[in-house]
Amino acid sequence: DVSQCSAGQRAAAGPLVRRYEGAARGRGVAAAGWRVCLAHRFEEPRQPYGAGDVPFHDVLRHIGLALRYFRWWYKKTRIEKKSAFIDLLCAVPLQQIYGCPLGGIGGGTITRGWRGEFCRWQLNPGIYHYETVIANQFTVCLRCKGQTVYQQVLSVERPSTLQGWNWGYCGHYAFYHALYPRAWMVYELPGQNVVLTCRQVSPVIPHDYKDSSLPVGVFIWEVENGKDEDVDVSIMFSLQNGTGTKEDRSGGHWNEPFAFEKDGERVAGVLLHHCTRVNPFTLAISAREKAGTGVTHLTAFNPTGSGREVWQDLLQDGRLDSPAGKSSLTEKGEVTAAAVCASCRVPARGHRTLELALAWDMPRVYFGSKEKLHLRRYTRFFGSGGDAAPALSHHALTHYEEWERKIEAWQKPILENSQLPSWYKSALFNELYFVTDGGTIWVELPPDCHAEDLQGPAGAGLSHLLPVLREYGRFAYLEGQEYRMYNTYDVHFYASFALVMLWPKLQISLQYDIAVTVVNEDVQPRQYLMCGQTAQVKLKNVVPHDIGDPGDEPWQRVNAYLMHDTADWKDLNLKFVLQVYRDYYLTRDSLYLRDMWPVCQAVMESELKFDMDNDGLIENGGFADQTYDAWVVNGASAYCGGLWLAAVCVMCKMAEVLGDAEIQQKYTDILSKGKEAFERMLWNGKYYNYDSSGSDTSSSIMSDQCAGQWFLGACGLDQGEFEVFPKSHVVSALKTIFEKNVMSFAGGTMGAVNGMRPDGVPDTSSVQSNEVWIGVVYALAATMIQEGLVEEGFRTAEGCYRTVWERLGMAFQTPEAYREKKVYRSLAYMRPLSIWSMQLALERRASRAPAPVQSPQVPIHP
């Protein structure tokens, strides 16, 4: 039966389905997730942060930076004709259209919008373009008693090309539902009594290091026939050869039909060979053939014309012509497309399934500099010859059920926990999109690679570097789609929870890569834009800001960021040490701990020089020397001082585990001095002051002041002999943040503002104190949960989720920051993955024991 839903159920489904006029609920659609009617409009206009939004005092303060940046930007973009790693002058405009991306980890991603469009592309690693390719569509054809009764492109668009197609599906009769890595689209076909549910599945499976790397997505079409007669149903999937850029017209592209049979399973479709000079690739559209399901194709058609020949072909008999042989090569200026069609008969009042897939094979990739060839992770399973698309398609269509079983087993305990709010379930899984759609790249180590090649001239002495990278490859993801730096480390600190909890080996591999860069240097001098001073790119024994720009040669040349000389940043080294212990605590990988131990000691030695007065506490340098890179800190500070004490604490713990008594004593002494100094200099009776400089804003309430405690709590080092920050102080600080930064800001509906003055007015002393950072808010919520302020934690985080996903239409592009009004900054950002630390906190509360990452999740009772 075609399942129906009532108006009440519609209302319960969320605020974005108010315009839904259909009655269908679809088939197998998850209960929790992000749901939106295809007729929805996001009303609130928001803009990227621009020069016009900078208050006068900031203009004066940053005038030097602005001039230096402009000079650098002009040389980069206009003279060298390259793109800037952060383009402050051409921000990506906000489009409130995105849905779940397709594809596994590190093989590139193709994002579909919630209206079904194919609109965001990342095939060249780390490089995005935002283009809706109009020919990429699903079209349905219904036939009764040998006559076509209905044929419709399942798109609400009315484009100027392909005018021979029937566009303009009425969005009021369909909804989209995302629960990453799956999404559903439910279409009621007006006047037909037929409901289509398209389930989109990508292979993103925790603790899986094979199928999770595959560049594929599957579309399972559930067809429910509510009629009293049989219906022949066809779903046609059309795709342009390319990604919507000018390269689609560069000539030399061609298509060919294919069929692939293995283990008695056959898939058929069309390969679209995209023959560019750099990073050529093949797209494949296909469908699974089975008893009662026919698969037909059209090898090539012109997607810029009327498309009438395609339309008529399908209309005639619900099938495509299926010519044999290859298409000719496209001429310069010409674009080509192909289509595959799966058809079956659905009995009266019955149900059938059609399975289609999209795969893309770009096995060998160059980054912008084109210096080194990299092989993607999936090539170890499917080869690097560029001919894997048929096998990938076959694998996807014959394994998606297994993927779904694994995804369900992973998500079920969380989804079924009635004590968790529904928005949280959506946020937790949907924010995970960034693991794949963060410009992510996952590559193999070249087979002839030696430890010396990796460790650089200094040699890191990391005994397990080679085995780890050989087995699990190298992983990198961007700070943000607009902030094009890989593995930005001060931000990864927050996001790393998702990785260590779900793909711990990728976190370990990433950490090895960072460890290698620590012991190496890059003596090239360059000018830093914030202060204008010149210094070398990378100093020895410090953690880099990032692992490089995909527009250049990441891993080879680190520190793409040139706003500040981050050798003087106070947080990076500490964040490395904290992650090492957190990873060890969650994975129990003692080989990793042993390898990282000398690196931790080296970076802590570097850090010790920031304790100028030898009181056991580091001081900030009077510039924005940490992740809040436009918010000046001077003297002892709650953020960096807190991280420092937490790092010193884990040094003691690691020394204890490794039996290094001398180091343990050294850091125990520092810790006892430092704790005393921290309390004396920063505690004001209610919370920790922003810094100890005594400036006008020293007493600001920073939402992230408990970051050190957050990490200690996550690795079970927050009580007993390891208590660093007095419990009563932590709780008081969190309550103050909740009262001031959360509840006194935007009526408590937008999360926590970064900096609040004690009188309840946001701290406007810098461009960042006045922002809400979504990733910081999720981390803050986790800290609250850890400390027993569970309701406050959920309330705090909910504000961000509702603002981003429901009010501002920023689904699948959660930004770094927004302000109370008008602006946001840096779309599709890494930091919000920190929501997984909320999950860790909940699991810890439920079990009151360390949650080993390999075991199934326990039910949560917040």
Ligand X SMILES: CC(C)CCC[C@@H](C)[C@H]1CC[C@H]2[C@@H]3CC=C4C[C@@H](O[C@@H]5O[C@H](CO)[C@@H](O)[C@H](O)[C@H]5O)CC[C@]4(C)[C@H]3CC[C@]12C
CA distances in angstroms from 417 to 209, 414, 501, 800, listed in the order given: 28, 5, 19, 22
How near is the Cβ of 51 to ligand X at its closest, in Å?
A: 4
With respect to ligand X, which residue has the nearer C-beta, 88 or 329?
88
Least distance in Å: CB of 526 to ligand X?
A: 15
Q: Is 6 left (phi over 0), alpha (psi -120 to 50) or beta?
A: beta
Dihedrals φ, ψ of 257, to 5°? -75, 155
Least distance from ligand X to the Cβ atom of residue 483, Å: 6
DSSP states of 670-719: HHHHHHHHHHHHHB-SSSB-SBSS--TTTT-EETTTTHHHHHHHHTT-SS
Based on the shown chain and the rule CB under 6 A, indicate whether residue 488 belongs to the binding site for ligand X: yes
Q: Is 571 in the site for ligand X (CB under 6 A)?
A: no
52-60, 109-117, 532-540, 726-734 -> range binding ligand X (CB under 6 A): 52-60
Nearest approach in angstroms of CB 64 to ligand X is 9
Cα angle 781, 587, 606 (rounded to 5 degrees) comes to: 75
Question: Rule CB under 6 A: is residue 491 a binding residue for ligand X?
Answer: yes
431 binds ligand X (CB under 6 A): no
Size of the site for ligand X (CB under 6 A): 22
Exactly one of 180, 434, 483, 778 binds ligand X (CB under 6 A); which one? 483
Distance CA 444, CA 460 (A): 20
Span 273-302, contacts to ligand X by CB under 6 A: none
**Per-position b or e across 511-543, b if 16+ CB within 10 A of its CB:** bbbbbbbbbbbbeeeeebbbbeeeeebbbebbb
Question: According to the binding rule CB under 6 A, does residue 658 interact with ligand X?
Answer: no
Interface with ligand X, residue 587, by CB under 6 A: no
Residue 349, classified by CB atoms within 10 Å of its CB into exposed (0-12), middle (13-18) or buried (19+), is middle
**CA distance linking residue 848 with residue 843, whole number of Å:** 8
CA distance linking residue 565 with residue 655, whole number of Å: 31
Q: Contacting ligand X (CB under 6 A), which of 11, 12, 31, 63?
A: 63
Selected range binding ligand X among 140-148, 359-367, 589-597, 626-634, rule: CB under 6 A: 626-634
Among 23, 156, 170, 563, indicate the residue that binds ligand X (CB under 6 A): 563
Which of 232, 361, 490, 611 is close enough to bind ligand X by CB under 6 A? 490
Query: Which of 96, 436, 455, 627 forms a contact with ligand X (CB under 6 A)?
Result: 627
Gyration radius from the chain CA atoms: 27
By the rule CB under 6 A, 823 interacts with ligand X: no
Report, in Å, the least distance between residue 755 CB and ligand X: 14
Tell the smallest beta-carbon distance from residue 608 to ligand X (Å).
23
Burial track 265-280 (b if 16+ CB lie within 10 A, e otherwise): ebbbbbbbbbbbeebb
Does 477 engage in binding with ligand X (CB under 6 A)? Answer: no
Judged by CB under 6 A, the residue of 3, 21, 54, 256 near ligand X is 54
Angstrom CA distances, 285 to 112, 358, 360, 472, 671, stand at 15, 5, 9, 29, 60
Interface with ligand X (CB under 6 A), residue from 16, 38, 86, 469: 86
CA 306, distance to chain mean position in Å, is 37
Whether 299 and 387 have beta carbons less than 8 Å apart is answered as no
Q: Does 89 bind ligand X (CB under 6 A)?
A: no
Cβ atoms of 570 and 542 closer than 8 Å: no
User: Would you say 335 or 491 has its CB closer to ligand X?
Assistant: 491
Beta carbon nearer to ligand X, 289 or 522: 522
Cβ proximity of 156 and 169 under 8 Å = yes
72 vs 167, which CB is nearer to ligand X?
72
Q: Does 51 bind ligand X (CB under 6 A)?
A: yes
Binding mask 777-816 for ligand X (x = CB under 6 A): ---------------------------------------x
Applying CB under 6 A, the span of 292-300, 315-323, 421-429, 484-492 interacting with ligand X comes to 484-492
Report the Cα 777 to chain-centroid distance in Å: 17
Q: Please, which residue, 67 or 278, has the CB nearer to ligand X?
A: 67
Complex with ligand X: residue 445 or 630, whichever CB lies closer = 630
* DSSP per position, 184-231: EEEEEETTTTEEEEEEEE----TT-SSGGG--EEEEEEEEEE-SSS-E
Which string of x and - marks every residue 10-49 that binds ligand X (by CB under 6 A)? ----------------------------------------
Nearer to ligand X by Cβ, of 224 and 490: the residue is 490
Output the six-digit token pair for 435: 């693991």
Could you give the CA distance from residue 495 to residue 506 in angstroms, rounded to a whole number? 13
SS3 label, residue 14:
coil
Cβ closest to ligand X, residue 479 vs residue 792: 479
Per rule CB under 6 A, is residue 59 in the interface with ligand X? yes
Q: Does 88 bind ligand X (CB under 6 A)?
A: yes
Tokens for 854? 């390999």
Decide if residue 729 touches ligand X (CB under 6 A): no
For the CB of residue 832, give the shortest distance to ligand X in the complex, in Å.
Answer: 12
* Cα 478 from chain centroid (whole Å): 9
The rounded distance, in Å, linking the Cα atoms of 296 and 339 is 9
Residues that bind ligand X (CB under 6 A): 51, 54, 58-59, 62-63, 65-66, 86, 88, 479, 483, 488, 490-491, 561, 563, 627, 629-630, 767, 816
